[in-house]
Structure 1
Amino acid sequence: MKSLGKYFILLGSLFKNRESFKTYFKLTINECVLIGVNSIVIVVIVSTFMGAVTAVQTAYNLVSPLIPNNVIGLIVRDMTVLELAPTIMAIVFAGKVGSNIAGELGTMRITEQIDALEVMGINGASYLILPKILASVFMYPLLVIMAAFLSITGGYLAGIMTNIITEQEYIYGIRLDFNEYTVTFALIKSVVFAFLVSSISAYKGFFTRGGALEVGLASTSAVTNSVIAILLADYLLAQLLL
């Protein structure tokens, strides 16, 4: 409970003694590059193979001749939009971005760079953490959209190249009974997950004490706690919004 209280106090301090809008804008753009653009490669690789594996395994489990092949496209679409793109990619996001945020802030803390900022009258939490959270909340939904597209494309390529489904059947399947709300739900989840990963990781890094060993422990703890928070939030959002 004490840690949870410190977490909410840290979030509240982000909006005290703020810098100018121009300063935050520049910092946020830099973080968008570090958080979003530098994550594109891993998102492309994971999401493409994620869709391909889903298509192949779905086809493998279609043992009844009464089930049409276009169900493969439908299952790949629904699994990708509802769960794989926002949630699985959030875990990857926590591993890459969350550990980086915790490591960066932890290193700044143990080398007294954050203390130096505060001595100069700058709110270290707001100056260092708020741009990371804003960049994460802005960039991660874009990564989820890209991941969903690539996952469905990966399923298409795997299905066509292995001859388990025709092009027409797959396209018909991904268009069958499409519910636009699932996209909205996925984007809502992506915003929540991005906030959780960035804020939890920042909290773990900002309050690091000790030396290099503690920075590594903070990064590990940030990823572990972010993943747990993602899974809990995933369940709660499904209960509330579906």
Structure 2
Amino acid sequence: MFFTYFGQYLLLLKSVFKRPEKWRMYWKEIIHEMNEIGVGSLGLIGIISTFVGAVMTMQIAFQLVSDLIPSSVIGQINRDSSILELSPTITALVLAGKVGSSISSQIGSMRVTEQIDALEIMGINAPGYLILPKILAGITMIPALVVISIFLALTGGLIGGALSGAVTPVDYINGITDGFIGYTVAVALVKAFVFGFIITSVSAFKGFYVRGGALEVGQASTRGVVISCIAILAVDYVVTSLML
């Protein structure tokens, strides 16, 4: 069954990346999806990232009980953890639930109401028109959201450490600036790019081939989120092992 669905997924992607009929029509959809995925998710990602950064700072300070370890190490650990793992992965998992379920239910509803059939009858490449703008918006906006998430996680760590007394702002800032390696940001952006493709394409695939009515649309949306989350964690391991 896995190879059946995976082959069907690859055939759908082949149809998605066909040459568009009119780029002008696609550009409008791309801008709309960028607004939905990026701007629409900014508040949620901001709140989660800030609190995760603050909690991480307090937990790291709780574990580093030795007087021989300088408190600036708290900032270093929080920085590397946020850049390499927490911000890309948590952002992707949150967006898999928010954006992925929305994409799957939207396309699934169009399928069961025969709107996709109407597009195909009119000679429009339905997979390309419906899915390509979402994929392009996902691989563009999710890396941008990850960058914002990293910044807010580090800012949240500064605020959380200062309010709890775990680390002074001066020591924390020295920690996040000392020994910074820019390559870690490149790893995070590669992860975010791949995660964005997985979230949009897998969710669209589950919605595009749904059969039945409203109940099946909801089930397809749930399966799309579950598969996306599993794929994100698996790809996270692969990218980390290849790039680090």
Question: Given the two structures, how large is their TM-score scaled by the length of structure 1?
Answer: 0.98
CA distance in 2, matches of 1:17, 1:86: 31
Match of 2:13 in 1: 11
Unaligned ranges ≥5, structure 1 = none
1:231 to 219, 233, 243: 233
1:129 to 118, 128, 131: 131
CA distance in 2, matches of 1:199, 1:16: 15
CA distance in 2, matches of 1:51, 1:26: 36
CA distance in 1, matches of 2:70, 2:19: 61
Match of 2:157 in 1: 155
CA distance in 2, matches of 1:65, 1:181: 31
Q: Any conservation in 2 of the 1:200–1:225 contact (CA below 8 Å)? A: yes
Matched residues, percent identical? 53
Quote the offset at 1:176 in angstroms: 1.6
CA distance in 1, matches of 2:236, 2:214: 33
* Counterpart residue identity of residue 120, structure 2: E
CA distance in 1, matches of 2:166, 2:15: 55
Equivalent residue runs for 1:7-156 within 5 Å = 7-16=9-18, 18-156=20-158
CA distance in 2, matches of 1:201, 1:81: 26
Post-superposition Cα deviations, 1:18-49, rounded to whole Å, max 9, x if no partner, equal 22111111110001111111001110111000
Post-superposition Cα deviations, 1:61-105, rounded to whole Å, max 9, x if no partner, equal 111111111111011100000001111110001010000000000
Quote the offset at 1:177 in angstroms: 1.2
* Counterpart residue identity of residue 135, structure 2: I
Question: Given the two structures, how large is their TM-score scaled by the length of structure 2?
Answer: 0.98
CA distance in 2, matches of 1:134, 1:209: 26
* Counterpart residue identity of residue 124, structure 1: A
Give the 3-state SS of the residue equivalent to 2:212 in structure 1: coil
Post-superposition Cα deviations, 1:145-172, rounded to whole Å, max 9, x if no partner, equal 0000000000000001111111110001
RMSD: 0.8
Q: Any conservation in 2 of the 1:17–1:123 contact (CA below 8 Å)? A: no
Q: How many residues align?
A: 242
Unaligned ranges ≥5, structure 2 = none
Give the 3-state SS of the residue equivalent to 1:184 in structure 2: helix
Match of 1:164 in 2: 166
Match of 1:174 in 2: 176
Asked if residue 194 in structure 1 is aligned to residue 196 in structure 2, the reply is yes
Post-superposition Cα deviations, 1:183-216, rounded to whole Å, max 9, x if no partner, equal 0110011000000110000000000100111011
CA distance in 2, matches of 1:130, 1:210: 24
Match of 1:219 in 2: 221
CA distance in 1, matches of 2:91, 2:59: 19
Give the 3-state SS of the residue equivalent to 1:36 in structure 2: helix
CA distance in 2, matches of 1:195, 1:77: 26
